[in-house]
């Protein structure tokens, strides 16, 4: 029960389902526009959907950026040491 409520809350707030529905609605409005001109209400809906789509994209981008900084690459020290060791023992460096 709690899991279902949390899942529902997540879908409403994260917008994962909305993010999938917005392009479908926009394409439907575009096809309507191709057949005849949109009403004022449909134009407002389209503008609102585009703004919401951009906002969701920004939120998702920020979330992934935060996640990458939080988890980060744990092997940085290892790779740095490997690069230094390679530089030390590079045979081309000894011919200079």
Cβ density class 80-91: b for 16+ within 10 Å, e for less: eeeeeeeeeeee
Q: How many domains does the chain have?
A: 1
3-state SS record for 12-27 = HHHCHHHHHHHHHHHH
Q: Range of 48's domain?
A: 2-95
pLDDT at 36: 78
Res. 95: pLDDT tops 60: no
Which residue carries 């790779």 as its tokens? Answer: 79
Res. 55: pLDDT tops 70: yes
pLDDT tens for each residue of 23-48: 888 788 787 777 777 788 888 888 88
Res. 68: pLDDT tops 80: no
Res. 81: pLDDT tops 70: yes
User: What average pLDDT is seen over the chain?
Assistant: 77
Token pair for residue 96? 């200079």
CA 82, 84, 86: angle at the middle one, nearest 5?
Answer: 70
d(C-alpha 53, C-alpha 42), whole Å: 16
């Amino acid at each position: 029960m709690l899991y279902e409520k949390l899942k529902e809350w997540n879908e409403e707030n994260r917008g994962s389902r909305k993010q999938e529905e917005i392009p479908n609605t926009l394409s439907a409005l575009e096809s309507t526009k191709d057949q005849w001109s949109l009403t004022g209400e449909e134009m407002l809906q389209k503008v609102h959907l585009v703004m919401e789509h951009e906002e969701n994209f920004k939120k998702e981008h920020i979330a992934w950026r935060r996640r990458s900084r939080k988890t980060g690459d744990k092997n940085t020290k290892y790779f740095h040491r490997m690069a230094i060791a390679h530089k030390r023992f590079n045979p081309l460096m000894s011919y200079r």
